[in-house]
Chain A
Amino acid sequence: MKKIFTPLVIATAVLFAAALVLIARVPPESTMGLVQKIFYFHVPSWIGMYAGIAVCAVASISYLVTGRPAADRLATSGAELTVLFGLVGLVTGPLWARKAWGVWWQWDARLTIALLLWLIFVAYLVVRKYGGPGAEKLAAAVALFGTAVSPFVYMSVNIWRTVHPLTSVMPQLPKSAPEMVPPMAASAFAFLLLFGVLLIARIELGRRQAAVDELYLAHEEGAA
C-alpha cells in the first residue's frame, strides 16, 4: 500500500488543482449565479459519505463474521470518513440553500435522510470512543443496523417529505448544461481520490496503533 500512497497523494493534489481551475472557468449559472458553484463540492462530498458508509458496512459485517482486527480497523476508517465527508456536505448544503431557497434548512426527504445516516455514524464513533472494552463488536452492530435501516429511512422519509433538486438532475447534466460536466467530474474524482488517500492513511495509522499496543503489552509482560 505504501508504494501507491505517494503517487495517489500527488494525483489527488493535481486533480484538485485542476478541478478548481475548471470550476473557476465555467460561466456562472444563469439563474443562481455564483452560489451554484458550491454544488461542485457539495455533490462530491455526499459521494464520499456514501462511499464511507459502504466501506464501513461491508467491513463491519466481515468483522462480525470473521472477528478479524483488520476488518474492524477498516470499518472505523470508513465511519470516520463518513462523518468527515458528511460534515462537508452538511455545511455546503445550507450555504447554498440560504441563497436558493431563502432558508438554511428544509425538512426535505434528501436532507433528512442524509442527516439521519450521518447521525447514525456519529453514534458509531461515540460508541467506539466511550464504549470501553468490547466496543468494536457493539460498533459493528450499529453499522450493520444503520445500513439495514437506510432503505426504511429512505422510504419513510420520502413519503413524509420532498423539496431537494432531484438527483436525476445529475444524469441529465450532459444535455442540460454540458459546460458543467468537466468541473463536476474532476471534482467528484478528486473527492474520491481524497477519500482513498485518507482511507489508506487511516488504516495505516490503525495498524501502527495496534502494533504499538502489542509492544506495550509485551514490554509490560517482560517487566513483570
Chain B
Amino acid sequence: MKEIIKTESLTKHYGKVRAVDGISLSVGKGEIYGFLGLNGAGKTTTIRCLLGMVRPTKGNAYLNGKKVTAGNHKLWNDVGYLVEIPYSYPDLTVRENLEIIRRLRFISDPVAVETVIEKLQLGLYQDRKARNLSQGNAQRLGIAKAIMHNPGILLLDEPANGLDPAGIVEIRQLLCDLAFNKGVTVFISSHILGEISRFATRIGIIHEGRLVQESDADQLDKFRKRYLQVNTFNNNGARSKLLEKGFNVDITTNGLLEITGDEVIAHPDIVSALLVNTGYPPTLLKIEEEDLESYFLRTIGMTGGAK
C-alpha cells in the first residue's frame, strides 16, 4: 500500500523536554490512523511537525512522499487539518470564515462553501458570527475548513472535542465515508481509545513522546487482557485455596476474585470444580475482557490515571 503519511525517527525537543522522541510510523492510502495518547503525550507536536509548523529536532516527516518543510507550501493543496481547538475570526460569520479559507485554498467554485455548510449541518448558523457559536458548532466549523477543498490527507487533532454524542457519530460517519469510499487518508489524534477503535483501521499509542504500541485496530482484542471473574460466599477463603493450587488470583475493589492465566480462560470448569470440591461453590463465574480504557492505561504503564 502506498505510504501517504510517514515519519522517520521524528523527534522534537524543547530544551530538556522531549515532546516527541523518535517516532516512526506510516499510514497507507485510505487508512484511518488513530493516534492515541494522554494530554501532553506528544500528539499535537507530532501533528504540528507533519504540518511543517514546527521543525523537528531530528528525523523527518513526509506527506505523499514529499518531505515536509515550512517552505514547501504546494504540499498543502492536498492536506486538510485541524490542530487543537479550532478558532475562527470572531467578527466574521461562519460563511465569511469559510469564504476566507476558500480563497486561501484557491477553490474557484463558490458553491464549495455551500456544500461544506450543508455537509457539516451548519446551515442554521451560517450567518452567525463565529464569536457566538457554541463549542460544538465551532468544532464543526473547524472541520468544515479542513475538508472544504476535498483533500486526500486529513490531519485531525481531537476533532470530537466539544461535540455532543450525535455530533461524534456524525463526524465518525463522515470520516469513514471519506476514507473508505473516497480513499482519503486520515490521521486522527484522540485520548479516548473506545471512540477511536470504533472506526480507525490502525492505532498507534504515544506516551511521553514515544510510540509505545502500534497495531491494526482489529488486533486490539488480541492484546487485551482476559480474566475469569468469580464470586463465592467467602472470597478470602476461596482465594487461599486457589493460591494453594498455584492460580494467579486477585481480589478486585468490589470484592470479586479475578483469576488470570491462559489455562483458566480456556478451562474455567477446572476452577469451578476446585471451588465446589473445597467448599466454596461459585455464585458467579464469567470470563471478562479488559475494557479499552484499562488496556490503554496499562499499555502506557498507568493504572487509573496514576503511574
Q: Do A and B come from one complex?
A: no
The chain A residues found within 8 Å of chain B, CB to CB, are none
